[in-house]
């Protein structure tokens, strides 16, 4: 393992001991970098060799799962081995590993201890296949070098949002009753869980930073260190969300102006204390000038000034600032048709491209509005070529059914990550946020050779202290899929789901696998089909964001409107007659979205205000589409309820009961959505439903 194995090396040994114990085998560990002789391993029937080294392996492809030249010759023996074949070779990076198998032998060889840990977990995922006859070896490495979960946990229980903002899985795993728990056993298990799927960063607290939460940066540091100690052995760095007003709130300064020398000094000293307590601390996440959070606008400064203030404080310690682009006016006048919330992030951030320090990552929500079930991909992601950009996804199901509805989001994230934002250059969202050059020739590289502009893939976590971690047991698949897609954005989301099913229900009857696919594969599209139609978004109950309230936000200051009246529905975001938002996209999207005839159906009402009898590309009208799809989707939910009932007795009873209870609520809620949306369209438009199904 090398003399500097450290906490991650210890985890590798612990995992090996655990596995060895399970199989009744024996374990030889050399932590001093001394070679393990080939003879010593040859006498066993089944052998696993793990080793950290930085050999050169042949082959040029570095995408996940690609075969490379055989590194077998270098597995045992002196650490000085060179490249196996001396030709085209790439070094193994810190997080990369080669997984090999040959007739009863398996090996993991990695570039660093984190790579070794990931390789070991990959081997566990492989199961017995890892020892299958024949020869095979793959080089694997994460496409995104930053794979982060943001926790919206409050230290204090918030009177409206509770302990975890938009949390649907009980309380916080680490905060309880105004402090960090004494017993952090489950946090250790959680860290192991995240490390096993390659998550390498967590932020501990809510982006809406309350009074107590702000103090994590100062008096709470010992607690932060306790948590960091649990994440570190699994290769995970710890971050905090901080308040831009911290110099005033915590330091008693009269201002938080980013150009004020006292403010700059305050942040520099705060950072020094943080890194003195947690030497490998990751950095800060900041929500500023957004939904009431303080920010640089109060001082007439912009967001580059704000972000660079913190960036310069953390730079001497190797820290990074994740600065969110979720900046918009949440107190707008709904009568003012010229203000379009979708435009806001681009309007604020595009002019700042090139002004952010190298250790700033601008963290952009995947859509321009707010984690809807369907939205266009945010043009901001492609509009900052001289800025490090991370995309932010939402694993917690705020707008996708509160972990009461089955909604497997892997296919949605896959669409987003693969979306060719700058189509001419062939760069997808994943290419941009991972710093991959992409390009028409299809060249791909891993982070080791990516430019320094990589930002990463971030998501809001869906876990809590619930016994199943995620409230709805099947929502675990979303956490798993996020991590696997952040590792490899080109992974097939249904295969990822299949992997999760196999690992979660390892010895189950084959009918369980079939039924889970039946319930989950298409569940995001089913959810979409009974809620807000054709990309128009929202129509949810204000505040909670659960259940239908078609006009709930229509006359509110939040900027989320559908503009339905007797003549039509949808938001005109065109350049010709609307808010001009389509102009924020590069070609071809600026033109594809501009024209209702070329705009994809699923986004039609996001970009256009159209008559109810406007014909979709699918051939049906908007009104009839709403009528049919809402009803069909509820029929589908009914069928999934029946399918789940049939696997009773084939899975754990407690789990079966929990899913059954959630499905009953899903069916009730989906029916409510169906009836309200269908009736709303009928009463508003007067267009009859050709199917003759009931309308109220
Ligand atoms: C919205 C949530 C709100 C979050 C906000 C954010 O409703 O609770 O604080 O996003 O991302 O979706 O900051």
The proportion of the chain whose per-residue pLDDT surpasses 90, expressed as a percent, equals 78
- Out of 370, 372, 460, 546, mutate this one to test ligand 1's pocket (max ligand atoms within 8 Å of CB): namely 370
Indicate the range of 99-113, 230-244, 648-662 predicted with least confidence. Answer: 99-113
pLDDT of residue 79: 28
Q: How confident is the model at residue 332 (pLDDT cuts 50, 70, 90)?
A: very high
Q: Is the CB of 392 under 6 A from ligand 1?
A: no
Q: How confident is the model at residue 100 (pLDDT cuts 50, 70, 90)?
A: confident
Q: Are residues 296 and 386 in the same domain?
A: yes
Per-residue pLDDT tens digits for 556-589: 999 999 999 999 999 999 999 999 999 999 999 9
CA distance 9 to 117: 8
451 close to 437: Cβ distance less than 8 angstroms = yes
Ligand 1 mean position, distance from CA 359 (Å): 24
Q: How confident is the model at residue 435 (pLDDT cuts 50, 70, 90)?
A: confident
Per-residue pLDDT tens digits for 240-257: 999 999 999 999 999 999
Residue 581 included in any domain:
no
Q: Which ligand 1 atom lies nearest to the CA of residue 293?
A: 13
Indicate the range of 211-215, 271-275, 652-656 predicted with least confidence. Answer: 211-215
Question: Three-state SS for 590?
Answer: helix
Q: Is the CB of 398 under 6 A from ligand 1?
A: yes
Largest interatomic CA distance in the chain: 82
Chain-centroid distance, C-alpha 393: 4
Residue 306 included in any domain:
yes
pLDDT of residue 256: 98
pLDDT of residue 47: 76
* Best CA proximity match to 368, nearest among 397, 353, 396, 348: 348
Q: Are residues 106 and 163 in the same domain?
A: no
DSSP-derived pairing of the beta strands 97-102 and 135-140? antiparallel
493 close to 483: Cβ distance less than 8 angstroms = no
Q: Which ligand 1 atom lies nearest to the CA of residue 161?
A: 8
Between 57 and 374, name the one with better pLDDT: 374
Cis amide leading into 350 (omega within 30): no
CA distance 387 to 304: 11
| 621 Rama class: left (phi>0) / alpha (psi -120 to 50) / beta | beta
Ligand 1 mean position, distance from CA 371 (Å): 9
* Best CA proximity match to 244, nearest among 272, 220, 270: 270
* Best CA proximity match to 538, nearest among 363, 334, 689: 334
388 close to 349: Cβ distance less than 8 angstroms = no
List CB contacts of 182: < 8 A, sequence separation 6 or more: none
List CB contacts of 468: < 8 A, sequence separation 6 or more: 169, 476, 655, 658
Question: Three-state SS for 361?
Answer: strand
Q: Are residues 81 and 225 in the same domain?
A: no
pLDDT of residue 26: 79
CA distance 122 to 225: 29
DSSP string, 588-622: THHHHHHSTTTS-GGGHHHH--EETTPBPTTSSBH
Per-residue pLDDT tens digits for 487-515: 999 999 999 999 999 999 999 999 999 99
Which residue, of 82, 105, 140, is where some domain finishes? Answer: 140
Q: Is the CB of 208 under 6 A from ligand 1?
A: yes
Ligand 1 mean position, distance from CA 598 (Å): 32
pLDDT of residue 547: 98
In terms of DSSP H, where are the helices of 134-260? 185-196, 211-214, 221-231, 246-249
In a 13 Å sphere around the CA of 76, the CA atoms on its Cβ side amount to: 15
> Which one of 136, 229, 260, 291 is the catalytic residue?
291
Residue 596 included in any domain:
no
Residue 161 included in any domain:
yes
Residue 1 included in any domain:
no
Q: Are residues 12 and 158 in the same domain?
A: no
370 close to 398: Cβ distance less than 8 angstroms = no
> Which one of 398, 572, 594, 689 is the catalytic residue?
398
Q: What are phi and psi of 643, to 5 degrees?
A: -65, -40
In a 13 Å sphere around the CA of 611, the CA atoms on its Cβ side amount to: 5
Q: Is the CB of 468 under 6 A from ligand 1?
A: no
> Which one of 370, 465, 528, 689 is the catalytic residue?
370
- Out of 203, 209, 288, 291, mutate this one to test ligand 1's pocket (max ligand atoms within 8 Å of CB): namely 291
Q: How far is CA 222 from CA 215, 219, 268, 410, 552, in A?
A: 11, 7, 19, 37, 44
- Res 450 pLDDT > 70: no
List CB contacts of 324: < 8 A, sequence separation 6 or more: 207, 285, 286, 287, 288, 290, 362, 363, 364, 365, 392
Q: Exposed, middle or buried, 26 (CB in 10 Å: 0-12/13-18/19+)?
A: exposed
State mean pLDDT over 420-427. Answer: 78
Ligand 1: residue whose CA is nearest its atom 9:
208
Ligand 1 mean position, distance from CA 41 (Å): 54
Q: Are residues 394 and 427 in the same domain?
A: yes
* Best CA proximity match to 290, nearest among 375, 214, 358, 348: 348
Look up the pTM and report it. 0.93
Q: Is the CB of 328 under 6 A from ligand 1?
A: no
- Res 470 pLDDT > 90: yes
Q: What are phi and psi of 147, to 5 degrees?
A: -130, 100
**DSSP bridge partners of 51:** 109
Ligand 1 mean position, distance from CA 330 (Å): 11
Residue 522 included in any domain:
no
pLDDT of residue 64: 46
CA distance 622 to 604: 9
pLDDT of residue 424: 66
CA distance 552 to 682: 18
In terms of DSSP H, where are the helices of 398-474? 410-418, 429-434
User: 488: domain CATH number?
Assistant: 3.20.20.80
646 is catalytic: no
pLDDT of residue 496: 98
- Res 430 pLDDT > 90: yes
Between 461 and 34, name the one with better pLDDT: 461
Number of separate domains in the chain: 3
Q: Which ligand 1 atom lies nearest to the CA of residue 287?
A: 13
Q: Is the CB of 207 under 6 A from ligand 1?
A: yes
Residue 694 included in any domain:
no
Residue 650 included in any domain:
yes
Q: Are residues 10 and 105 in the same domain?
A: yes
Q: Is the CB of 144 under 6 A from ligand 1?
A: no
Q: Is the CB of 287 under 6 A from ligand 1?
A: yes
Between 596 and 102, name the one with better pLDDT: 596
Q: Is the CB of 150 under 6 A from ligand 1?
A: no
CA distance 613 to 568: 8
157 close to 163: Cβ distance less than 8 angstroms = yes
Q: Which ligand 1 atom lies nearest to the CA of residue 207?
A: 13
Q: Are residues 94 and 155 in the same domain?
A: no
Q: Are residues 539 and 454 in the same domain?
A: no
Q: Is the CB of 397 under 6 A from ligand 1?
A: no
List CB contacts of 481: < 8 A, sequence separation 6 or more: 408, 409, 410, 413, 493, 496, 497, 500
Q: Are residues 346 and 387 in the same domain?
A: yes
pLDDT of residue 88: 31
State mean pLDDT over 101-126. Answer: 88
List CB contacts of 652: < 8 A, sequence separation 6 or more: none
pLDDT of residue 80: 27
pLDDT of residue 663: 98
Q: Which ligand 1 atom lies nearest to the CA of residue 371?
A: 12
State mean pLDDT over 105-125. Answer: 90
Q: Which ligand 1 atom lies nearest to the CA of residue 460?
A: 11
Q: Report the chain's mean pLDDT, rounded to a whole number.
A: 90
Q: Exposed, middle or buried, 618 (CB in 10 Å: 0-12/13-18/19+)?
A: exposed
398 is catalytic: yes
CA distance 525 to 602: 10
Q: Is the CB of 206 under 6 A from ligand 1?
A: no
370 is catalytic: yes
Q: Are residues 540 and 473 in the same domain?
A: no
- Res 127 pLDDT > 90: no
- A 10 A CB-CB count for 654 gives 11
Ligand 1: residue whose CA is nearest its atom 1:
370
In 339-472 the beta strands, taken as DSSP E runs, fall at 360-365, 388-394, 454-460
Which residue, of 439, 467, 492, is where some domain finishes? Answer: 492
16 close to 120: Cβ distance less than 8 angstroms = yes
Per-residue pLDDT tens digits for 333-374: 999 988 999 999 999 999 999 999 999 999 999 999 999 999
Q: Is the CB of 166 under 6 A from ligand 1?
A: yes
Q: Are residues 680 and 558 in the same domain?
A: yes
Ligand 1 mean position, distance from CA 486 (Å): 22
pLDDT of residue 28: 79
* Best CA proximity match to 4, nearest among 25, 38, 31: 31
CA distance 430 to 117: 24
- A 10 A CB-CB count for 565 gives 11
pLDDT of residue 33: 60
State mean pLDDT over 31-38. Answer: 64
Q: Are residues 61 and 160 in the same domain?
A: no
User: 660: domain CATH number?
Assistant: 3.90.1330.10
Q: Is the CB of 370 under 6 A from ligand 1?
A: yes
Interface predicted TM-score (ipTM): 0.99
**DSSP bridge partners of 65:** none
**Cα angle 232, 316, 93; round to 5:** 50
Which residue, of 95, 110, 140, is where some domain finishes? Answer: 140
6 close to 279: Cβ distance less than 8 angstroms = no
Ligand 1 mean position, distance from CA 286 (Å): 13
| Domain of 25, in residue numbers | 6-140
- Out of 153, 166, 167, 458, mutate this one to test ligand 1's pocket (max ligand atoms within 8 Å of CB): namely 166
Q: Which ligand 1 atom lies nearest to the CA of residue 370?
A: 12
- Number of DSSP helices (H) and strands (E) in the chain, helices first: 20, 21
- Res 661 pLDDT > 90: yes
pLDDT of residue 451: 44
């Amino acid at each position: 393992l090398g003399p500097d194995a450290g906490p991650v090396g210890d985890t590798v040994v612990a995992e090996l001991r655990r596995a060895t114990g399970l199989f009744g085998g024996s374990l030889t560990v050399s932590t001093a970098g001394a070679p393990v002789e080939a003879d010593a391993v040859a006498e066993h029937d089944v052998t696993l060799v793990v080793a950290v080294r930085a050999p050169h392996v042949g082959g040029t492809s570095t995408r996940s799962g690609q075969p490379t030249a055989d590194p077998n010759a270098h597995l045992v023996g002196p650490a000085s081995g060179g490249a196996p074949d001396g030709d085209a070779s790439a070094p193994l990076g810190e997080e990369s590993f080669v997984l090999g198998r040959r007739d009863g032998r398996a090996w993991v060889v990695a570039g660093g201890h984190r790579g070794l840990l990931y390789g070991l977990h990959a081997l566990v995922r492989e199961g017995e296949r890892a020892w299958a006859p024949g020869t095979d070896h793959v080089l694997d490495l994460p496409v995104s070098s930053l794979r982060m979960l943001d926790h919206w946990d409050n230290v204090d229980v918030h009177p409206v949002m509770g302990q975890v903002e938009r949390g649907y899985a009980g309380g916080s795993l680490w905060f309880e009753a105004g402090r960090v728990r004494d017993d952090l056993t489950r946090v250790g298990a959680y860290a192991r869980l995240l490390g096993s799927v390659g998550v390498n960063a967590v932020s501990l607290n809510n982006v809406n930073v309350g009074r107590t939460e702000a103090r994590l940066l100062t008096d709470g540091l010992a607690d932060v260190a306790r948590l960091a100690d649990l994440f570190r052995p699994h290769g995970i760095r710890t971050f905090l969300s901080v308040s831009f007003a911290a110099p005033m709130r915590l330091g008693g300064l009269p201002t938080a102006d980013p150009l004020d020398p006292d403010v700059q000094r305050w942040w520099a000293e705060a950072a020094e204390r943080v890194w003195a307590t947690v030497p490998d601390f990751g950095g800060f996440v900041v929500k500023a000038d957004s939904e009431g959070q303080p920010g640089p606008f109060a001082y007439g400064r912009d967001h580059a000034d704000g972000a660079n203030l913190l960036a310069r404080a953390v730079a001497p310690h190797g820290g990074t600032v994740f600065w969110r682009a979720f900046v918009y006016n949440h107190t707008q006048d709904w009568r003012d048709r010229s203000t379009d919330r979708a435009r806001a992030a681009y309007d604020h951030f595009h002019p700042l491209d090139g002004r952010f320090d190298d250790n700033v990552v601008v963290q952009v929500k995947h859509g321009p509005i707010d984690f809807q079930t369907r939205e266009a991909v945010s043009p901001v992601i492609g509009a900052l070529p001289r800025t490090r950009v991370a995309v932010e996804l939402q694993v917690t199901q705020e707008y996708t059914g509160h972990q009461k509805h089955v909604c497997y989001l892997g296919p949605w994230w896959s669409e987003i990550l693969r979306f060719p934002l700058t189509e001419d250059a062939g760069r997808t969202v994943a290419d941009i946020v991972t710093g991959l050059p992409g390009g028409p020739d299809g060249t791909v590289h891993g982070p080791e050779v990516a430019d320094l502009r990589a930002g990463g893939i971030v998501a809001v976590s869906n876990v809590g202290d619930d016994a199943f971690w995620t409230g709805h047991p099947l929502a675990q698949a979303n956490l798993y899929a996020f991590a696997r897609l952040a590792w490899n954005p080109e992974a097939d989301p249904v295969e990822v789901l299949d992997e999760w099913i196999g690992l979660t229900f390892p010895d189950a009857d084959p009918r369980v696998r079939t039924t889970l696919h039946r319930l989950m594969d298409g569940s995001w599209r089913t959810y979409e089909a009974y809620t807000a139609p054709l990309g128009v978004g929202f129509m949810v109950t204000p505040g909670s964001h659960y259940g239908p309230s078609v006009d709930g936000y229509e006359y509110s200051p939040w900027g989320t409107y559908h503009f339905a009246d007797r003549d039509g529905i949808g938001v005109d975001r065109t350049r010709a007659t609307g808010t001009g938002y389509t102009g924020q996209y590069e070609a071809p999207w600026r033109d594809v979205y501009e024209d209702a005839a070329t705009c994809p159906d699923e986004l039609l009402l996001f970009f256009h205000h159209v008559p109810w009898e406007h014909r979709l590309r699918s051939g049906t009208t908007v009104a009839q589409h709403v009528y049919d799809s809402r009803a069909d989707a509820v029929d589908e939910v009914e069928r999934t309820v029946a399918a789940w009932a049939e696997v009773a007795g084939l899975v754990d009873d407690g789990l079966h009961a929990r899913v059954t209870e959630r499905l009953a609520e899903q069916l009730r809620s989906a029916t409510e959505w169906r009836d309200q949306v269908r009736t709303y369209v009928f009463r508003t438009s007067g267009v009859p439903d050709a199917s003759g199904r009931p309308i109220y």
